[in-house]
Amino acid sequence: MRAIERDEGRDAALMAAVGEVPVAGWTILAARRAGVGDADLLFPGGGGEMIEAWLDLLDRRMEQAAASADMTGLGLSGRVRAVIALRLELMRPDREALRRASGWLLLPGNGARATRCLARTVDAIWHAVGDRSADASWYSKRAILAAIYGGALLVWLRDPDPEDASTLAFVDRRLAGLARFGRLKSRLVPRRAVEGG
């Protein structure tokens, strides 16, 4: 995955600009309206670069919040749910900025950046729950979580509950379905091995 430039100046500029996004969109104008004088130098790639950098900043803040959260006694699904809930909480003050970012990322021609952003977030969630796998399951875990998290974002953008109840219920249903599939698979695989042997 392509590396993203990270520094405190860009992070501060993003946090200032995000408040102007509902008015000016994801543009250099939003940063200028927020008083960021060197916005063109900080984000030479314009709005797309700003969106990707902001989502990366949220990923980092989510991982920091997860590192200090007490997840004692939670299984893997519970930890994944808890980290997704942290991510939603971080985004809540800037829901309109995320709505506009999502709309921009879904435009034709922005697919590569959208994929990078989603992959980075999913990877950050797995890291936050303690997954350090490097085998073939690395890909399947990220593909499955990308579908769950992507769906959760669509629900969240329409969820009127200040505690994200509908969104977290959606996440719970998807994780429960995944757990049922895992149990079924574990029962079928040994049986096939015996029948084949």
Fold of 8-196: Tetracycline Repressor; domain 2 (1.10.357)
- Nearest Cα neighbor of 42 from 68, 18, 9, 81 is 9
The alpha carbon of 32 is separated from its chain's Cα centroid by a whole number of angstroms, namely: 27
Q: Within the chain, which residues score under 50 in pLDDT? A: 184-185, 192-194, 197
**Looking at residue 182, what is its pLDDT?**
52
What was the pLDDT predicted at 123? 95
pLDDT of res. 196: 53
Q: What is the pTM of this model?
A: 0.88
118 residue type, one letter: L
Q: Which residues of 138-168 are buried (b: 16+ CB within 10 A; e: fewer)?
A: eeebbebbbebbeebbeebeebeeeebeebb
For 174-189, the pLDDT digits (tens) are 999 876 655 544 555 5
Q: Is 11 helix (H, G, I), strand (E, B) or coil?
A: helix
pLDDT recorded at residue 194: 47
CB 106 within 8 A of CB 114: yes
Tell me which residue of 166, 126, 155, 164 sits closest to 143, measured CA to CA: 126
